[in-house]
Structure 1
Amino acid sequence: MDYEQAGELKIGQVGIANLRIRSLDVPRLVEEMRSRVQRAPNMFGRAAVVIDFGGLSHAPDIASAQALLDGLRAAGVLPVALAYGTSEIEKLSQALGLPLLAKFRASYERADGVAVAEAAAPPRREAPAPAPAAEPARAPRPPAGAPPVAQASSVGMIQSAPVRSGQQIYADNRDLTVLTTVGAGAEVIADGSVHIYGPLRGRALAGAQGNAKARIFCREFHAELVAIAGRYKVLEDIPKELRGKPVQVWLEDEQIKIAALD
């Protein structure tokens, strides 16, 4: 008998987005997701998504849940599972033919201390804030041997207020500079590079339209996820010795590189 397996199954960690439903407004949810995919297709296009109905007072009916799944697929993402919740959610998963995930990696802290996952809040485009009168902090110096930093093609966007949980900041066709904190559950996206002069605890995505020369710089690195031109790393993949340090992130040979800054 041939005992060699035709397929080798391994259980590992993969990057899966979590969409926590706060309001069962299917057209709005679909439009929000479509906007995300259009803004950052290399990151969100055909992304695997776990649907979490835990933000609702009760589980949706099968027809509403199926309409949401169909709409999200049409928007460009792939719902792959439901987040574990009540017995109603378990029955719903069986009716929809989707698995349940009992534990999801991305739990975030909101200001009121409630654990949430970033998803359904409508994307916000903040108007550029005026530059402060004082001399801004100098950009971190790249480590020796690293590729040269890409120059911004247009005037960059400056975000002077903290970026809080559930908030998304997007710099269209330019660099983004955040002068303070990017909180857990927050998301900053730029078509160019991202510069963060405070702690990065949420997500930072540079080169959203495919610019592989874009970079991410931050003063204090605790990122849930960093991505450049659609390639990404999550917290579990980041060396512990880099956490809390000033770092830069760039793309080299299709791989995300992270190095401490002097």
Structure 2
Amino acid sequence: MAKTVAALDFKSASLHVLRAVLHTADTAELTRALDQRMQEAGAFYENEPVVLDAQGLEQAPDWQTLADALRRYRLHPIGVRAPGALLASAHQAGLAPLDISTSRQSAGRAAAPARTTRAPEAPDTPAPEPTPAARPQPESGANAASSADDTIPPTGTGASSETLVIRHPLRSGQRIYARGGDLIVMGMVSQGAEVIADGHIHVYGPLRGKAMAGARGNPRAMILTTQLDPELLAIAGVYRVVETRLPDTLHNRPAQIELDGDTLRIRALQNSA
């Protein structure tokens, strides 16, 4: 007798999701904060599933307006955490109640309130400042926007050995994502360009755009460049917008950026010559 194969099965799954913590029920204020965060972080959140966390609210925001605002930035609201009194209105907007464990998020960083920090001030010892959390690990990122002739695809049998090499400068608006490994750019990353990697990022040239290493939550990832002048730096979801010129000990100098807890540490690299 022929074995019947089911056309559909349901199986359990563990999902990485972005948790957007709502601190106010004022929908206009929430959408303004969303606009600001997206302008700062660019494609760092793109195509992520989002759970709206309203556990601390007593009144419901306009769920539909908020969900539509997220979708405009290619974020996908899939559910809500909220007190029972708010769940009925969320359900009407197509948001299912979800119970996600905060322990699965990287050191609880996704729950931190949104804010920005400025570049370090100390000229001799560029000590890092506390940096706001941005998001948990992404499953998908931006697509590589580069010429096939100038790109060496990832190689190696394991994720740790995969390296994407870009042999040309990146112009404003271009975006590169090294999925599962490191990224090497042999040239300038212009202002308005974005480089993203699940592993380390090496830029052999001026880094003037946005660099996001450890994109799937690897806190040991680093960013290294021969000329530091970035718009944004991020490692494992902890990011920092550079709003003012870096100190002379760091500006346009070789530098290494790494994560220490919830703090990005920027260290000048001395020339061996």
TM, length-normalised to structure 1: 0.49
Give the TM-score normalised by structure 2. Answer: 0.48
